[in-house]
């Protein structure tokens, strides 16, 4: 029972705070990533923001710096080994390394059937979504291995576990989850945890055109047990938990943050009047 005056959603417990830690976030100018970055800043982390979108990076950095956070924003193509290595060197010079890594940078190829899938789109997806995670884990992870402490969260997707409209995206995100488990087992004995977060349907500025011009928001919301689309803050909370000491014994897991969507396959194969226990939805 809560003590008098205690409110739900109050200040995070000490083991969820991130003061004194440096967090590297890739693809930081994206919609989900901005939610993650802002949440980590509120928890006290210093931030290294990486993206190829320099304008978006600058705006985000300025906003965070205005709130008193220590922020380093760098243009970096995570699929380029030389750029990632050089960026890691800069982070070492500025912060003496990092404690936390969020591999968020990704690329979603256009919908295509397998027989019409271009090799270039396939390779581009693998380069950012898979090679980028590997390179950043390798180069930024060395700081954590040196300290024998650290936490990595890779942003995967529910598309890794179910066929969808983009074959290279599905394959790439499945590889991200497999690599997460590999990292967790190899580096766990050396003090470094690795986990994945798989978002479901999340409404961001990048996807807004699809929801604003179609009835997709209504259709998808009706398929999610919580009856709404996700927002970046939903993903940010899960990422922050896995990064923090509150998840100190969580390693090698894929946390699906999808409102329960991936559990509904059989439910949607029932008669309409029998779905969801026959209760009004």
What are the φ/ψ torsions at residue 171 (nearest 5 degrees)? -65, -40
User: Is-catalytic flag, 169?
Assistant: yes
212: which strand partners? none
Please answer whether residues 250 and 16 qualify as being in contact, where contact means their C-beta atoms are separated by less than 8 angstroms. no
Please answer whether residues 23 and 45 qualify as being in contact, where contact means their C-beta atoms are separated by less than 8 angstroms. yes
Q: How far apart are CA 193 and CA 179, in angstroms?
A: 13
Coil vs helix vs strand at 267: helix
∠59-38-152 over CA atoms, to 5°?
115
Q: How far apart are CA 57 and CA 209, in angstroms?
A: 22
101: which strand partners? 24, 152
**What residues act catalytically?**
169
């Amino acid at each position: 029972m809560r003590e008098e005056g205690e409110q739900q959603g109050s200040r995070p417990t000490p083991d969820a705070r991130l003061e004194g830690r440096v967090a590297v976030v890739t693809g930081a100018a994206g919609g989900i990533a901005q939610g993650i970055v802002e949440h980590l800043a509120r928890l006290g982390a210093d931030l290294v923001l990486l993206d190829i979108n320099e304008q978006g990076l600058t705006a985000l950095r300025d906003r965070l710096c205005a709130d008193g956070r220590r922020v380093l924003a760098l243009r970096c193509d995570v699929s380029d080994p030389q750029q990632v290595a050089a960026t890691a060197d800069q982070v070492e010079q500025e912060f003496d390394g990092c404690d936390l890594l969020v591999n968020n940078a990704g690329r979603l190829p256009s919908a295509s059937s397998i027989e019409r899938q271009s090799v270039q789109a396939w390779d581009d997806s693998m380069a950012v979504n898979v090679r980028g995670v590997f390179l950043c884990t390798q180069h930024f992870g060395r700081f954590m291995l040196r300290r024998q402490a650290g936490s990595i969260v890779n942003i995967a997707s529910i598309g890794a576990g179910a066929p969808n409209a983009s074959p290279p995206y599905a394959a790439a995100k499945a590889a991200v989850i497999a690599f997460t488990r590999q990292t967790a087992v190899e580096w766990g004995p050396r003090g470094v945890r690795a986990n994945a977060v798989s978002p479901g349907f999340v409404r961001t500025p990048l996807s807004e055109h699809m929801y604003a011009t179609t009835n997709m928001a209504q259709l998808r919301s009706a398929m999610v047990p919580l009856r709404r689309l996700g927002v970046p803050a939903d993903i940010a909370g899960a990422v922050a938990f896995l990064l923090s000491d509150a998840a100190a014994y969580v390693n090698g897991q894929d946390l699906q943050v999808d409102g329960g969507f991936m559990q509904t396959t059989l439910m949607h194969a029932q008669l309409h009047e029998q779905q969801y226990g026959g209760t009004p939805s």
